Amino acid sequence: MRIRPFLGSVRGLYLVAVLLLLLPVYSSCAPAAAGKAPPIGSVLPDVTMKDYAGQEHTLSKLKGKIVVLDFCSQECPFSRGIDKDITALAKTYAPKGVVFLGVDSHKSTPPDEIKEYAAKIKIPFPILKDVGNKYADALGATRTPEIYVLDKDLKLAYHGAYDDRKGPEKKAEKHYVKEALDSLLAGEPVKTPKVKAWGCTIKRAQ
């Protein structure tokens, strides 16, 4: 009777069973992955989030207005790099009926720190806290900055990079978000509706 091969096979099966039992534990420790980005022309899923002052904002209540969602993070130099530009853009286009909203999905930036940063930089629009990066997951957002421009029916008209700069402090030649807004305000289709976003990865909750 061959005892050793039999015992070896038993040990092997035992080891496999242990590894299978541990697999869910290790899997649960990995950050959740972003979902697939909605296609251009689709209505974005509704959401209600609170800004750093605790005020609630509901996307569906903005129907009838052009909306700019800026997935941002003060922890990211690329996101900070566009803050002055998007602040100026918001001041120019808000009087035309365009609504700007920042969305912070960073796992460890609390609202009070966001409030302090926004006041320091004088960002003129609310920054919403995406707790557990749930809305980033729903929209497939993976970067900061990453921009979603919605038309008056809350359909996605542009998704991607803010502009084509090559670094946080570099000047841009193509201004994708501005061009998208100009097209929508003129009642025309956006010529470049999608550009790959650049910047830092969103640091997701586990």
Task: With a cut of 70, list the residues of the chain below it in pLDDT.
Answer: 1-33
* pTM of the entire predicted model: 0.84
pLDDT of residue 31: 43
Per the rule left: phi > 0, alpha: psi between -120 and 50, beta: everything else, 82 is alpha
- What confidence score (pLDDT) does residue 169 get? 87
Question: Tell me, what's the pLDDT at 33?
Answer: 61
What pLDDT sits at residue 35?
A: 82
| pLDDT of res. 4 | 45
Instruction: Report which DSSP code applies to 30.
Output: S
Closest CA to 102 of 93, 82, 42, 120: 82
| DSSP string over 145-196 | SEEEEE-TTSBEEEEE-SS--SSTTPPPS--HHHHHHHHHHTT---SS-EE-
Of the chain, the percentage scoring pLDDT greater than 70 comes to: 83
Cα–Cα distance, 9 to 34 (Å, whole number): 40
Q: HSE (CB half, 13 Å, CA atoms) of 185?
A: 16
What 3 state SS string does 60-121 have? HHHCCCEEEEEEECCCCHHHHHHHHHHHHHHHHHHHHCEEEEEEECCCCCCHHHHHHHHHHH
Tokens of 37: 């980005």
Q: Does residue 65 contact residue 97 with C-beta atoms inside 8 Å?
A: yes
